[in-house]
Amino acid sequence: MSFKRRLAIGRIVAINIVIALCLAEIALRVQQKLGPLYDVDLRPDVVVQGLSDELNHVHPLHEDWNADGIRRMNEANAPQCGAKLLFMGDSFMEGTGPEDTVPVHIKHFFSRTKSRELCVFNAGCSTYSPSIFVPQAKKLIPKLNPDLVLIDIDETDIYDDYFRYRLLVRRDASGSIVAVDRTPIIDYFQQGLLKSVDKMLYLHRFFAKLYFTKVDYPATFARYFEDKPRDMLWLARFPAAEVRTTYPAAIDHFESTLEDLTSSVVARLGGPDRLVYLHHPHLEHLRTSGAFNDIVSTTIRKVASRNGAKYYDATKDLKAEFGGEPEKYYIPDDVHFNALGQRAYGLAVARFLAREIFH
């Protein structure tokens, strides 16, 4: 083949490549306007949200949450409250909807069976734990002035405290937690996602975003968690004696954080009798085998007793109520209660409060 012929073929190939790239650029811009099927025009106000330099992460501003992270309800609190209850916790307290939450079930229980209008404030947020509850309580208690603070703690919290937040906490001179910094890997994802689409050409954005999400970030994520268990319930699966021997540092850290939380709340409430710790069972607690240990519950009970706070572990009551089919009360292949379980737990706490607090 002559040189001229090879040159002509090369020009044709080059032209076809340019045309294909131009068509791909046009197609990406069109799908962005119509869909998009693959978003390459991300806005910072959409991507960079939810992180906090005080509480690690917060609910983005939304009609379901106010600026203080309190979940709105379909039926607002009455103007005159029989008592004001502040509920704190993670996703179990956050609930699955405005009405499917522990605080709402408690509010309805007292209204319908006791003719007492309680004002409830749900400050639950997914993956919160005692480390975050400390600065959250310092912020919310003076603002809401509750009569009672109820804090729900479960087996995922010892994992969160030790592996998620231990190295992110900031303390005051006395050693008390004042803030939990944002998680670096989440910050890296948000900033990297924005940087990947910070290009003039949409085709450039497409390949940059694809590389970041499929190659760069997964590798960084794996390195970040290479020394951390992926199972949030990891500690609960071992026999209690083995945990105390093998993981004493995690238990000690959890207990000291609970002490910090207790003293912070009690100091702002004016007394320990206005603080109630709650603990709910996981499905493994309720099975005949009793697969989970009681490390978390025992630690909460010890701290509460030592400080004069109240403690309610719903495991025994829910085990009796759920009978031999506890699976009916949990979301399949998930750690959370379904609607039936959420209501049962809420009513169990309500009956405890009626018996021990509002009698």
How high does pLDDT run on average in the chain?
92
Same domain, yes or no, for 22 and 102? no
Type of residue found at 210: L
pLDDT at 289: 66
CA angle at 255 for the pair 250 and 259, rounded to the nearest 5°: 150
Separation CA 336–CA 295 (nearest Å): 20
Helix (H, G, I), strand (E, B) or coil at 200: coil
CA dist 350 and 114 (Å) reads 11
Name the domain count of the chain: 2
The pLDDT assigned to 122 comes to 97
Q: Is residue 132 predicted with pLDDT exceeding 70? A: yes
CB 311 within 8 A of CB 304: yes
To which residue do tokens 């309610």 refer? 312
For residue 198, being part of any structural domain is answered with no
Peptide bond into 36 cis (omega under 30): yes
Predicted confidence at residue 227, as pLDDT, reads: 85
Range of the domain at 238: 48-181+229-356
pLDDT for the residue 320: 94
Q: Are residues 33 and 72 in the same domain?
A: no
pLDDT digits (tens, 9 = 90+) for 319-329: 999 988 999 99
pLDDT computed for residue 12 by the predictor: 83
pLDDT tens for 71-92 read 999 888 988 888 999 999 999 9
Instruction: Say what the pTM is.
Output: 0.90
What mean pLDDT do residues 177-190 have? 95
- Most confident option among 4-13, 23-32, 59-68: 23-32
Backbone angles phi, psi at 354, to 5 degrees: -65, -35
Q: Are 154 and 93 in contact (CB under 8 A)?
A: no
- In this structure, the answer to whether residues 162 and 92 fall within a common structural domain is yes
Q: Is the domain of 316 the same as that of 242?
A: yes
In a domain, 90, yes or no: yes
Asked if residue 122 and residue 16 are part of one domain, the reply reads no
Residue given tokens 């506890």 in the structure block: 326
Q: How does pLDDT run across 236-252, given as a tens digit for each residue?
A: 998 999 999 999 999 99
Backbone angles phi and psi of 61, in degrees to 5: -55, 125
Rg of the chain on CA atoms, in Å: 26
**Amino acid at residue number 342:** Q
Q: Are residues 10 and 152 in the same domain?
A: no
Q: Where residue 153 falls among pLDDT bands split at 50, 70, 90?
A: very high
Same domain, 16 and 61: no
Question: Residue 55: pLDDT above 70?
Answer: yes
pLDDT single digits (tens) 328-345: 999 999 999 999 999 999
pLDDT band at 288 (very low <50, low <70, confident <90, very high): low
The type of residue at 276 is: V
What span, in angstroms and rounded, lies between the C-alpha atoms of 344 and 207?
A: 49
3-state secondary structure of 155: helix
What is the distance between the alpha carbons of residues 238 and 154, in angstroms, rounded to a whole number? 16
Who contacts 232 (Cβ-Cβ below 8 Å, separation ≥6)?
Answer: 155, 156, 159, 160, 335
Range in 36-40, 46-50, 142-146, 273-277 with the lowest mean pLDDT:
46-50
* Co-location of 2 and 110 in the same domain: no
Same domain, 156 and 295: yes
